[in-house]
């Protein structure tokens, strides 16, 4: 069964599409583009609180950097964790412990993260939580409706970001909330290049008193078209009720064809 609709549920999809990438971080800068660290002291001591994590020279084999609440700051976002390692010159990096990404208007936390600077990819794992106040850089002119909804939260088990392809994938127990808007699915993929948002697996969206339940749902953020697929599809919309004391309109009698 397939249905196409322009309903208030489009508001859920629009808000969710912006929240997907509002706090999603890009990969940390390549070590080659960062200044070399200053010589380490002879005695090894824990890094001070909020100390910047040194980034090694290209081609070097850096050891993991650890310390309490160490951080890495770029012009675009700030990363806080207690350990980060770069694996040689292939661009791979690992953050094995709790990590926080933040920038004006949004932040994201996860139990660990890894990625590759050269490919521009990063994955967040475990209890991923993305908060956005609606004023993140991605929330542009197309998101006026989204911004009016107030702060939003996206949670999932894993969030994969391909910053070059502009594809964001949330996996496992995907849940979104913004005011009266809510959405649940097993998987969600947002393609910022095409403007398509796809929700897969036991999809349910709620916008006030309206709701939609389906196996999968596609939403085009450019045309505002919603397409739900799967059996069964359930759409619930509030039915207006007449005010007390008001008479219901009397139906007009049908015209009859006379035999002469």
pLDDT in tens, the chain (260 residues): 444 444 445 555 555 665 565 546 666 665 544 444 444 443 333 433 333 333 333 343 444 444 445 666 666 678 889 998 888 788 898 999 999 988 878 889 999 999 888 888 899 999 999 988 765 455 444 444 545 557 888 999 999 988 888 899 999 999 988 888 889 999 999 888 888 889 999 999 988 888 889 999 998 878 878 888 887 778 877 766 666 666 555 555 555 444 43
141, 116 in Cβ contact below 8 A?
no
User: What H or E segment, with its residue span, contains residue 147?
Assistant: helix 144-148
192, 166 in Cβ contact below 8 A?
yes
Strands (E), 56-195: 65-73, 78-87, 92-95, 99-103, 106-110, 112-116, 121-132, 152-162, 167-178, 181-191
The full set of domain ranges for the chain reads 2-31+98-236
The Cα 260–Cα 247 span in angstroms is: 37
Q: Is the pTM of this model over 0.95?
A: no
Q: CA end-to-end span of the chain, whole Å?
A: 47
CATH architecture of 2-31+98-236: Sandwich (2.60)
CA geometry: angle 14, 19, 22, nearest 5 deg: 125
The Cα 36–Cα 56 span in angstroms is: 6
Question: How many of the other CB atoms lie within 10 Å of CB of 234?
Answer: 10
The Cα 120–Cα 26 span in angstroms is: 7
Name which of 73, 85, 90 is nearest 29 in CA terms.
73
């Amino acid at each position: 069964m397939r249905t196409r609709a322009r309903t208030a549920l489009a508001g859920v999809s629009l808000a969710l599409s912006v929240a997907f990438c509002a706090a999603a971080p890009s990969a940390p800068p390549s070590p080659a583009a960062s200044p070399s660290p200053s010589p380490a002291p002879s005695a090894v001591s824990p890094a001070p609180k909020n100390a910047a994590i040194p980034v090694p020279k290209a081609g070097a084999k850096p050891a993991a950097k650890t310390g309490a609440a160490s951080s890495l700051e770029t012009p675009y976002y700030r990363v806080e964790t207690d350990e980060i390692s770069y694996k040689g010159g292939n661009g791979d990096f690992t953050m094995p412990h709790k990590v926080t990404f933040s920038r004006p208007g949004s932040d994201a936390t996860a139990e660990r993260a890894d990625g590759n600077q050269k490919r521009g990819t990063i994955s967040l794992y475990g209890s991923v939580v993305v908060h956005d106040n609606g004023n993140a850089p991605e929330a542009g002119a197309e998101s006026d409706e989204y911004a009016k909804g107030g702060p939003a939260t996206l949670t999932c088990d894993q969030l994969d970001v391909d910053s070059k392809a502009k594809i964001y994938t949330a996996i496992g127990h995907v849940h979104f909330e913004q005011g009266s808007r809510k959405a649940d699915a097993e998987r969600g993929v947002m393609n910022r290049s095409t403007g398509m948002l796809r929700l897969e697996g036991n999809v349910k969206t709620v916008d006030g008193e309206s709701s939609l339940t389906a196996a999968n749902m596609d939403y085009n953020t450019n045309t505002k078209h919603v397409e739900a697929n799967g059996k069964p599809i359930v759409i619930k919309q509030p039915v207006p009720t007449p005010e007390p004391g008001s008479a219901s309109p009397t139906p007009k009698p049908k015209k009859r064809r006379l035999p002469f």
